[in-house]
Amino acid sequence: MNLYDLFVKPYESYTYLQILLEVTGTVFGILSVYFSIKKNIWVYPTGIISTLIYVYILFNFGLLGDCLINVYYTTMSIYGWMLWSKNSEDNVHVEVTWATKKEWFFAIILFIISMLLVTVIYYYKPYIDNHFSLKGVNLGLYHLDWANWLDVLTTSIFLVGMWFMAKQRIENWIFWIIGDFICIPMLIYKELGITSVQYLVFTVMAILGYVSWKKSFKEKNTVKT
């Protein structure tokens, strides 16, 4: 399969509105990561716009499991926005730190719960895709392919990453780096080429974010000592 088949051909059947929405969601997603690197509270309003657009896109593509997860992302973004507002001295920027052992324990629990939750969503996906009707539907995980299982994994990774980011913990970038990188082939397989490029950009930006937040924390503690 060549690059045309991967990134162009799927869009031949899309409407201009679908393409415009995916491009807009991608742009606001990149802006969100940029503001996150800068420890700027605008990470959340731009991120909310992006996730809401993807809620609409995924719903129309019949990817209702993914759609429900993006609803969760939007909710977490609102939570993070409130938390950053509370902890920001200038109402724009925040200070960052490393996570405690207690927070890591909670993160592990959150990851396990997320894995179970997303698996349950996929278990009922035939019922959801059938407009919430059990008529002629067989529940189970038989319909999952490798991309769906990757989605279960990456969704759990991202949920932990979002929680760490809301808590202003440097480790959030580690989860974004891993999750973004895994998402690239998954999104190509789902024929969302523009979004797969977005996640390639996200991977690079997440690495820069990790370096930036780590440097910021080091400089702050050097000044104190």
Question: What is the sign, positive or negative, of the torsion defined by CA atoms of 158, 160, 162, 165?
Answer: negative
Q: What is the pLDDT of residue 183?
A: 86
Q: What is the pLDDT of residue 224?
A: 59
Interval 30-78: pLDDT, tens: 899 999 999 899 999 999 999 999 888 877 766 665 677 788 888 888 9
Interval 131-167: pLDDT, tens: 778 888 888 888 888 878 888 888 889 889 989 998 9
Give the three-state DSSP class for 169: strand
Residue 26: closest CA among 189, 198, 157, 171: 198
CA-to-CA distance for 150 and 162, rounded, in angstroms?
18
Question: What is the sign, positive or negative, of the torsion defined by CA atoms of 17, 19, 20, 24?
Answer: positive
